[in-house]
Every structure is written in structure tokens, then in C-alpha cells.
Amino acid sequence: MSRSARLAPVAALLSLALALTACDSGSGGGSGGDSARPGAPGVRDPYFPRAGNGGYDVSHYGLTLSYDPATTRLTGTAVITARATQALSAFDLDLAGLDVAGVTVEGRPARTSRDGQELTVRPQDELTAGETFEVTVRYSGRPRTLTDPDGSEEGWLPTADGALALGEPTGSMAWFPGNHHPSDKATYDLAVTVPEGLTAVSNGELTERRESGGRTVFTWHTGEPMAGYLATLAIGRYRVSESTTEDGLPVYTAVDPEVDEASRDVLGRLPEVVDWATENFGPYPFSSTGAIVDRPGDAGYALETQNRPVFPGPPTVELLVHELAHQWYGDSVSPESWRDMWLNEGFATYAEWLWEEDHGGDDAEEIFTELYEHGRHGDEVFEDLWDFPPAEPPTASDISGEPVYQRGAMVLHRIRRTVGDDAFYDLVQGWAAEHRHGNADTDDFTAYVEKAFPDEDFTSLWEDWLYGEGKPDRP
Ligand code: TRP
Ligand code: ZN
């Protein structure tokens, strides 16, 4: 079934609902022309229907947190600045677990109720469409570790000496309330108090570090828009090193002492990788870079947390390339919904191929062929490569599946083959520039490619490689 055919029944139902509403409420009822109603509990993500919330758009999170690893208790205040996109009588925030002590909207206490991950806030005064408002949530408790549909763990992960917060796809709601869907990006300020001797590392830049009554407060500022799933907080004993790349970009790395030595060579190449990626993908999108390296077992996977990816143990250079490439593809150009994961993972995987090609390994054409013929890349064997089309993972547990990563990269290689190297690099740079600090979906991408190369026909590439079931015919 085509995607538009699948949408048709929904569209029909919607127009019926609209017609009915128009009939029975006349001019809208309530308090005049634009009557306030509750914001939707989700943003209709195809895989996570309750992720995010309707009716408002967050511009800033101000988080003041305090954590004690001895008790695993988190105490927090979130000040969320948002703009109403409709007149609101109530709206939801996403928050999994934790106890809410109080919520104010524009400084006035608001009524709240909770249902699963939905924290519903009913302000004393209705919010008008277009109004900017501030919500303050005071909360505390022992944050949860969440299990993904694919079985991996995210949210709040206690470690031997602290904790690690990882949010892909929905884990950020385990440690702060918000509009937890990648389509609503915002800037962040985070002040974290931890026991003396521990370090708190997050995204963006460290703007202050001060001692306060036997504890230390770390203040981090993220000035470029960030999707919630890319927010991180790492608390523990870390060896911190600060430097700059040749271009003067600040580099901040925090490494668990147990893996410091084993990480040193690869992390030493971080500035080189950033420079290489900048040459290939265009200007680095953020105001600092770096890495957080914890111990193996602290997390089950690496994550491209903004500015500063997290690695559970010493990364290989290929993994470092992958997570840094995400800074352009995923972090700056973020998916519109979780269906668009291949735009993250296909690009980050293809970046690994390009690195290999540029550093004396197989070239991308050889990697493509080996994958197509034998389902292998070096030592890695992919059994599930042809299980589903990368642009349409069948279930939520498939959004991190092999087709999303490998076949996604194969699609990019097919485009490169069609248009040639120079035009291909212009394309990937242009794509990163066009949606810098924004969101994009698969339709945006295919339209962008078609517009850039009006004389080429990409129909079968999209139909067979992005949307088609099974192994496409030999290209
Ligand atoms: N995005 C991560 C990477 O490629 C991997 C990952 C972690 C992931 N959690 C996920 C992918 C959840 C999809 C869904 O480095
Ligand atoms: Zn990735």
C-alpha cells in the first residue's frame, strides 16, 4: 500500500469529525471565536503516539537539578518557556515516574493530573494562541531506567560512581518534564549539584563550576536548538580534558579513569575527525565538541548526544566518526518523526564508509558490493539487511534495525553513484545547510535530491531501496 493510500481513511475520518464539530458547536462555543481546548497528548508519531504533546512549542528548558548517587535521588526544577500554537485550556508534558511537588504557569499554581507518561497541566488562566508562557515544575524521586521497544535500556542509568542519562528514543522523559519528541527542539540551561569529587557533564559549554556547602554545582549552556533525546547528563568521576581544534572549536572530553588509557589514542584523533567531517559535510553546527566515555556496561550502546557523544567504553575510530557525523545528520538536521531514523543512521553509517575510503581501506563501492552480495562489511555480518524498507520500519523495535543503518547508507551510495562525487558532496553539504538546526523527513530529502538533479530519475531508487520490501534487484 502506498503511504498516501494508508493515510486516506484517516483523512476521511478527520474531515467527518470536523464536519460534525462544525454542526454541533456552531461558532465554536465557549469563550468566543478561538475557544481554548486541551492540547493533544502526542504529536502522532507513527511509533510513539504519546511522545511529545500538541498545542505548544518549547523554546527553552532551564533545569536546576541535584543528584546524590548514594541515594539515587534526583531533585529538580524545570522552567519551560513555550509558545501556545492554539488557545489552551490545558496541555500535557511528558514525564515518566518521579513525584511532582508543584506546577505553576506564569507564576500561578496550576492543577495537574497524571496518566502514564502524560502530566496534564491545567492553568488558572487559559492561554491564548501565540502567547509565550513559562511553566515551572518542581519534582523529585528516583529516576527510572526505561526499556526500549528493541530491548535496550535508556532514560536514567545508575553507574558505579554516578549516573548516565541517555534519551533515544524516549528516555529524556525519565529525568525532566517536557515536550519529548524530536520535532520540538529547544535551547537548554542546566545547573547540576553533585557531591564534591564528582563531575557533572552535559551538552553545550560549561559556563560555571562552583563549590557550595560540600557540593559542586556545574552549569551547562546549550545555545543551539537540541532535540530532547540528545540531551545527556553524566555524573561520576571523570578525567576531564579541554582543548581546541585547529579552527578554535572548544573540545571538552570526560573519561572514566578506568578506561582513560584505552581511550587516549582514538580520543586524541577527535579534532582530526571533526576537521575531516567539516570538510565533507560543511561547517560544524555547534559551538563545542567532545566526548563522554564511561565504562562498558554503563550503557549498551553509544549515542550521538549533542556536542558530546557518549561511549560505553573506549570507542573505535569508526564509532567516533559515526557519532560525530550525527552532529550534522541527526543533531543539527533532526528527524521530523521516528520514522525518519534512516536519515540519521544511513548518513552516520555512510560517513564511516567515507572515512574508510579516505584512510586506505575499502572504498564505498567495494563496501556496497560486499554488503549487497554477502551481507558483510569487514568482520560484521548483517542477517536482517533485507527484512524491511529503511524508510518504513514495520514496528518501533525496528527503528534501530540493520536496514535503517546499512540499507540507508546504501541508498546514499546509490545517489553518489548516480550524480558523481563532486555533486554528491555538494548535495550532503547542501542538505545539512538547508535544514541546519531544524527537522526534516524522508519526503523533504527525496524532494531535495530531485530538485538538485532535475535530469535524473530517482523513482526506482526510492521505490525499491527506500520503500520496497525485500532485496532490490542488482543495481
Ligand atoms: N543512535 C545510536 C547510534 O547509532 C544507537 C541507538 C541507541 C539507537 N539507542 C537507540 C537507535 C534507539 C535507535 C533507537 O549510535
Ligand atoms: Zn547512529
List average pLDDT for each run of 10 residues in the chain, which is 475 residues long: 38 41 36 79 98 98 98 98 98 98 98 98 98 98 97 97 98 98 98 98 98 96 98 98 95 98 98 98 98 97 98 98 99 98 98 98 98 97 98 98 98 98 98 98 98 98 98 92
Atom number of ligand 1 nearest to Cα 302: 15
The residue whose CA has the least distance to atom 9 of ligand 1 is 168
The residue whose CA has the least distance to atom 14 of ligand 1 is 400
The residue whose CA has the least distance to atom 11 of ligand 1 is 400
Which ligand sits closest to the CA of 153?
1
Superfamily designation of domain 334-466 = Neutral Protease Domain 2 (1.10.390.10)
Which ligand sits closest to the CA of 400?
1
Please list all protein residues whose beta carbon sits less than 5 angstroms from ligand 2, which is an ion: 345, 348
Q: Which of 229, 230, 301 to mutate to test the pocket of ligand 1 (most atoms within 8 A of CB)?
A: 301
The residue whose CA has the least distance to atom 10 of ligand 1 is 168
Atom number of ligand 1 nearest to Cα 345: 4
Q: What's the CA gap between 422 and 333, in Å, rounded?
A: 21
Q: What is the pLDDT of residue 1?
A: 34
Which ligand sits closest to the CA of 309?
1
CA of 346 to the centre of ligand 1 (A): 12
The residue whose CA has the least distance to atom 3 of ligand 1 is 303
Q: What is the pTM (predicted TM-score) of this model?
A: 0.93
Nearest C-alpha neighbor of 334 from the set 449, 179, 444, 175: 444
The ligand 1 site (C-beta within 6 Å) comprises: 148, 152, 168-169, 301-304, 323, 345, 348, 399-400
Nearest C-alpha neighbor of 104 from the set 81, 86, 121: 121
Residue that the C-alpha cell 546499512 belongs to:
406
Amino acid identity at 166: L
Q: Which of 157, 400, 402, 404 to mutate to test the pocket of ligand 1 (most atoms within 8 A of CB)?
A: 400
Q: What is the pLDDT of residue 21?
A: 38
CA distances in angstroms from 119 to 42, 138, 182, listed in the order given:
12, 12, 18
Atom number of ligand 1 nearest to Cα 304: 15
Q: What's the CA gap between 175 and 151, in Å, rounded?
A: 20
CA of 282 to the centre of ligand 2 (A): 19
Which ligand sits closest to the CA of 348?
2
Q: What's the CA gap between 39 and 120, in Å, rounded?
A: 9
Q: What is the pLDDT of residue 33?
A: 47
Grid coordinates standing for 22? 462544525
| Contacts for 12 with CB less than 8 Å, ≥ 6 apart | none
CA of 468 to the centre of ligand 1 (A): 23
The residue whose CA has the least distance to atom 5 of ligand 1 is 303
